[in-house]
């Protein structure tokens, strides 16, 4: 079984995003970029399934600027077998990404496609569900456990009240939640090896998909700022404050 893992290059999660003064977006100049954390979890899960003998090949796919190659090389260094970059300087929305990925799946015929549940830049939480819809496949979103059993897969999902397990026919779409696994660090020898693994570069036009954005961002602003309040010296003072607020009797 082949596994497809879409990975997105995003602002590193340790960086505090700064809104540009002209209100057109977030300043990404000279900012550290990394693989979306949920996608690292997706890559890790795919590699573990390969190590268990469930999967035979892991293919990483990214849609984005030329530098998204670095993100794909990270996936290859972690253990993916080959990579596909669909290169574009345009911003591609989740619907466009899902349409491109659907075309990739038509060519690849993977048994599982594992995505992150959410990209930490647009915080959309859509692409996996959209891809499942376009392909007419089952979706196991927010996964914290995956078990492949013959031609179905059992997915434990993190939901509002706790956990839920669903059984999906394969091929299926899965999106990862934080507690699915802890991604490995690529070792130096593997980083070196990754340099010679195959990485194909394509263009959106190769897939004949219209990726014109549907949404226009009119403005990006900073959220209302909270200012630091007061420090209290001890518990008695805190109790007094709580009483004054009517929180405690």
Ligand X SMILES: Nc1ncnc2c1ncn2[C@@H]1O[C@H](COP(=O)(O)O)[C@@H](O)[C@H]1O
Ligand Y SMILES: Cc1cc2nc3c(=O)[nH]c(=O)nc-3n(C[C@H](O)[C@H](O)[C@H](O)COP(=O)(O)OP(=O)(O)OC[C@H]3O[C@@H](n4cnc5c(N)ncnc54)[C@H](O)[C@@H]3O)c2cc1C
- Which residues in 118-147 contact ligand X (CB under 6 A)? 118-119, 122, 124-128
Q: Taking each helix axis from N to C terminus, what angle separates 68-78 and 37-51, rounded to the nearest 10 degrees? A: 30
Structure tokens given for 90: 């345009």
Q: What are phi and psi of 193, to 5 degrees?
A: -60, -35
| 185 scored as a contact of ligand Y (CB under 6 A) | no
Chain Cα centroid distance, residue 208: 24
Whether cis (ω within 30° of 0) applies to the bond prior to 171 is yes
CA distance 52 to 188: 23
Binding test (CB under 6 A) with ligand X, winner from 3, 58, 64, 174: 64
| Cα-based distances in Å from 148 to 75, 162, 171 | 22, 22, 11
120 lies in the binding site for ligand Y (CB under 6 A): yes
State the minimum distance, in angstroms, from the CB of residue 14 to ligand Y: 8
Place of tokens 């209100």: 23
Within 10 angstroms of residue 213's Cβ, the number of other Cβ atoms is: 12
Minimum CB separation of residue 198 from other proteins in Å reads 30
Q: Interaction with ligand Y in 37-76: which residues (CB under 6 A)?
A: 37
Number of shown-chain residues binding ligand Y (CB under 6 A): 3
Residue of 6, 111, 183, 204 that binds ligand X (CB under 6 A): 6
Binding of ligand X by 37 (CB under 6 A): no
Q: How far is the CB of 216 from ligand X (least distance, A)?
A: 17
Dihedral sign for Cα atoms in the order 9, 11, 13, 14? positive
* Structure letter (DSSP) for residue 197: S
Find the part of the chain contacting ligand X (CB under 6 A) among 43-51, 110-118, 147-155, 164-172: 110-118
46 binds ligand X (CB under 6 A): no
- 111 is a contact residue toward ligand X (CB under 6 A): no
Select the binding partner of residue 65 from ligand X, other proteins, ligand Y, none (C-beta < 5 to 8 A, by kind): none
Q: Does 31 bind other proteins (CB under 8 A)?
A: no
How far apart (Å, rounded) are the C-alpha atoms in residues 123 and 112?
23
Among 12, 13, 23, 205, binds ligand Y (CB under 6 A): 13
- The least CB distance from residue 200 to other proteins, in Å, is 26
Contact set for ligand Y, span 19-38 (CB under 6 A): 37
Q: What tokens appear for 133 in the block?
A: 């819809």
Contact in structure between 165 and 142 (CB atoms under 8 Å): no
Identify the CA nearest to 42 among candidates 107, 110, 109, 99: 110
| Contact set for ligand X, span 192-221 (CB under 6 A) | none
Q: For binding to ligand Y (CB under 6 A), which residues are involved?
A: 13, 37, 120
* Chain residues in the site for ligand X (CB under 6 A): 6-8, 36, 38-39, 61-64, 92, 94, 97, 115-116, 118-119, 122, 124-128
């Amino acid at each position: 079984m082949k596994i497809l893992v879409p990975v997105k290059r995003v602002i590193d999660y340790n960086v505090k995003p700064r809104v540009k003064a002209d209100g057109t977006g977030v300043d990404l100049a000279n900012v550290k970029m990394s693989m979306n954390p949920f996608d690292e979890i997706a890559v890790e899960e795919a590699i573990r399934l390969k190590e268990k003998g469930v999967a035979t090949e892991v293919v990483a796919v990214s849609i984005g600027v030329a530098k998204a190659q670095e993100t794909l090389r990270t996936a290859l260094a972690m253990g993916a077998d080959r990579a596909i970059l669909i290169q574009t300087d345009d911003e591609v929305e989740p619907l466009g990404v899902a349409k491109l990925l659907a075309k990739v799946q038509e060519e690849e015929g993977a048994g599982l496609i594992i995505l992150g549940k959410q990209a930490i830049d647009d915080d959309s939480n859509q692409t996996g569900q959209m891809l499942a819809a376009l392909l007419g496949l089952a979706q196991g979103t927010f996964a914290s456990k995956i078990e492949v059993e013959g031609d179905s897969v059992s997915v434990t999902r993190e939901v509002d009240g706790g956990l839920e397990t669903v059984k999906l026919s394969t091929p299926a779409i899965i999106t990862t939640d934080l507690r699915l696994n802890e991604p490995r660090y690529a070792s130096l020898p593997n980083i070196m090896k990754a340099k010679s693994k195959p990485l194909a570069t394509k263009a959106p036009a190769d897939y004949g998909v219209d990726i014109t954005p549907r949404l226009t961002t009119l403005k990006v602003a900073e959220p209302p700022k909270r200012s630091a309040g007061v420090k209290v010296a001890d518990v008695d003072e805190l109790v007094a404050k709580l009483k004054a607020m009517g929180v405690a009797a």
